[in-house]
Amino acid sequence: MPRYMKKRSKKAGLPPGTLVYIGDRKPDGVRITILDYDESSFHEMDAETVEACFPFKEKPTVTWINVDGIHEAEVIRKLGECYGLHPLVQEDILNTDQRPKMEDYGDYLYIVLKMLSHADKSEEILFEQVSLILGRNFVISFQEGKEGDVFGPIRERIRSGKGRIRKTGADFLAYSLIDAVVDSYFVIMEKLGERIDFLEEQLVDRPSPKTLHSIHTLKKEMIFLRKSVWPLREVITAMERGDSLLIHEQTRAYLRDVYDHTIQVIETIETFRDMVTGMLDIYLSSLSNRLNEVMKVLTIIATLFMPLTFLAGVYGMNFRHMPELEWPWGYPAVLGLMSAVTLSMLAYFKKKKWF
């Protein structure tokens, strides 16, 4: 099974709206946290059961329900029922190989994002799906719950009441979550940049088949990164330009800002792709270069010693009548001839600039 592909096939044949979790089973239970606030009040709690979220639906304050772990279909179903989510949305939340998208259901927007992180120590990039439901006065976020998230600073800002976040509505909260996800991409980009730099040095100093393998892995990772980030562009444009009443005029400037960041990430990925492609060319031509070097050594050696060996062979023949063999200065003469041959060969190579 390729690691970037989910077992989507197990859903084939089921009716639409069937809630089946696609992805690796996660051992821990589902964890639901609720942050409820307005400019003056703030309330934070862990929900024991999903029913604890229901009363917040009607409160005028902004409510952020974060669901960590989406493998229990029942939780999604109950939440969905209470908050009036379309069965297809419920299905999509469970389906973790969605591409980023935004769907406007009138009462709420459904947004899918990819959260990226690095596995501890390893260079592998992990992809986690985040689904956001933006309603009039609430945001529900669903995570796979594998690796922690990037929303810590936002929670902190809500708690402390700093910045605009407590003074604004649910749309600004949704924007902040998207912004946090996009900001985290820059961290990934920098690590990738470092890897590319390291590979480039390696390429110049000591290229090896391992270098090729690393380039190939990098290239593949870039393919998947691209797939996760490209559609985000449209998602944010759709939010900014769309005519949904859920998004206020002041928030649109902020969405434009996060749109700019997305474009930057996309451009960086494209730049990296170009660079990695260039590295492959360099690798291939360094291989050719090396082959040329090796072949030159071989040719020089062969060209030097073959005539000499032949000469030695001639005077190693056992003919009875070989006058040269009798001459007292025959041996030095042959040695001299050999030196002359060698020197002229070397001169030839010099002229050809072979060394």
- Chain positions 201 to 240 lying near its own copies, rule: CB under 8 A, are 204, 206, 209, 212-213, 216, 219-220, 223-224, 227
φ, ψ (nearest 5 deg) of residue 277 = -60, -45
Q: Rule CB under 8 A: say whether 160 interacts with its own copies.
A: no
- At its nearest, how many Å lie between its own copies and the CB of residue 299? 4
Q: Could you give the CA distance from residue 176 to residue 160 in angstroms, rounded to a whole number?
A: 15
Q: Are 59 and 77 in contact (CB under 8 A)?
A: no
Quick note: the x/- pattern for its own copies over 98-117, rule CB under 8 A, is: xx-x-x--------------
- At its nearest, how many Å lie between its own copies and the CB of residue 218? 10
Q: Where are the alpha helices (DSSP H) in the chain?
A: 73-83, 87-94, 152-160, 170-205, 209-241, 249-314, 323-326, 330-351
Question: How many residues sit in the footprint of its own copies (CB under 8 A)?
Answer: 119
Among all chains, which residue has been given the structure tokens 């529900």?
Answer: 140
Residue 49 vs 289, nearer CB to its own copies: 289
Among all chains, which residue has been given the structure tokens 């639409």?
Answer: 16
Beta strands at 62-68 and 138-143: parallel, antiparallel or unpaired: parallel
Determine the Cα angle at 218 with ends 217 and 219, to 5°.
Answer: 90
- At its nearest, how many Å lie between its own copies and the CB of residue 29? 28
Smallest CA-to-CA distance from 151 within 277, 64, 238, 228 is with 64
φ, ψ (nearest 5 deg) of residue 50 = -65, -25
CB neighbour list of residue 179: distance below 8 Å, 6 or more residues apart? 254, 257, 258, 261
- Reduce the secondary structure of 227-242 to three states and give it as a string: HHHHHHHHHHHHHHHC
Of the candidate residues 39, 81, 97, 201, the single one contacting its own copies (CB under 8 A): 97
- At its nearest, how many Å lie between its own copies and the CB of residue 190? 5
Among all chains, which residue has been given the structure tokens 């862990």?
Answer: 46
Residue 49 vs 250, nearer CB to its own copies: 250
- At its nearest, how many Å lie between its own copies and the CB of residue 330? 5
- At its nearest, how many Å lie between its own copies and the CB of residue 51? 27
- At its nearest, how many Å lie between its own copies and the CB of residue 288? 5
Residue 59 vs 331, nearer CB to its own copies: 331
Residues 12 to 71 in contact with its own copies, rule: CB under 8 A = 12-17
- At its nearest, how many Å lie between its own copies and the CB of residue 280? 6
Q: Are 102 and 131 in contact (CB under 8 A)?
A: no
Q: Rule CB under 8 A: say whether 355 interacts with its own copies.
A: no
Q: Rule CB under 8 A: say whether 8 interacts with its own copies.
A: yes
Residues 273 to 332 in contact with its own copies, rule: CB under 8 A = 274-275, 278, 280-292, 294-299, 301-310, 312-322, 324-331
Q: Could you give the CA distance from residue 175 to residue 112 in angstroms, rounded to a whole number?
A: 13
Residue 123 vs 257, nearer CB to its own copies: 257
Segment interacting with its own copies (CB under 8 A) among 25-33, 42-50, 57-65, 150-158: 150-158
Residue 26 vs 155, nearer CB to its own copies: 155
Q: Could you give the CA distance from residue 169 to residue 165 in angstroms, rounded to a whole number?
A: 8
CA 209 to chain centre: 22
- At its nearest, how many Å lie between its own copies and the CB of residue 212? 6
Q: Rule CB under 8 A: say whether 260 interacts with its own copies.
A: yes
Of the candidate residues 76, 93, 130, 150, the single one contacting its own copies (CB under 8 A): 150
